[in-house]
Amino acid sequence: MSTPTILVAEDEFDIRELLVFALEFNGFTVISVSNGKDAVEKAIETLPDLILLDVRMPRVTGYDACKTLKENETTKHIPVVFLSAKGQESEIKFGTALGAEAYILKPFSPDELADQVKRLLKKHNKL
């Protein structure tokens, strides 16, 4: 099985770089973008094994990107995980109703993030 590819969509440069570093350190191939519009385009183009979406991004929010990806036949099977600084239950329920499999709250530890990603990839037989 090849190395799993993770698509990261995060508008804050420092957080995006931390995500890329943590995931690459754990052996994943990482594609990163800075907004939801690019996330949708890259997901369709590359068909990653998992997508990490920040909730609040310019151009297209993580919620809207997730909705678009889940409505698309070629990307609807890809697991989506939301990243957010806001952990209200209503937001988490909204995100999972859109099709997200998990919600990771910021700040997170790189090890926790990698463990969560590995669990989801194993669940989907991608690891």
Estimate the crossing angle of helix 110-123 against helix 13-25, to 10 degrees: 60
Report pLDDT digits (tens) over 104-122.
988 889 999 999 999 999 9
Domains of the chain: which residue ranges?
Answer: 5-122
Report pLDDT digits (tens) over 24-80.
999 999 999 999 999 999 999 999 999 999 999 988 999 999 999 999 999 999 999
Q: What is the pTM of this model?
A: 0.95
The alpha carbon of 1 is separated from its chain's Cα centroid by a whole number of angstroms, namely 21
Alpha carbons 11 and 124: distance in angstroms, whole number: 27
Say if domain 5-122 classifies as CATH 3.50.30.10. no
Q: What is the pLDDT of residue 92?
A: 85
Confidence of residue 1 (pLDDT cuts 50, 70, 90): low
- Residue closest to 107 by CA, chosen among 14, 4, 8, 26: 14
Question: Can you tell me the mean pLDDT for 99-108?
Answer: 91
Alpha carbons 31 and 73: distance in angstroms, whole number: 21
CB proximity list for 36: less than 8 A, separation 6 or greater: 9, 53, 57, 59, 60, 61, 62, 64, 65
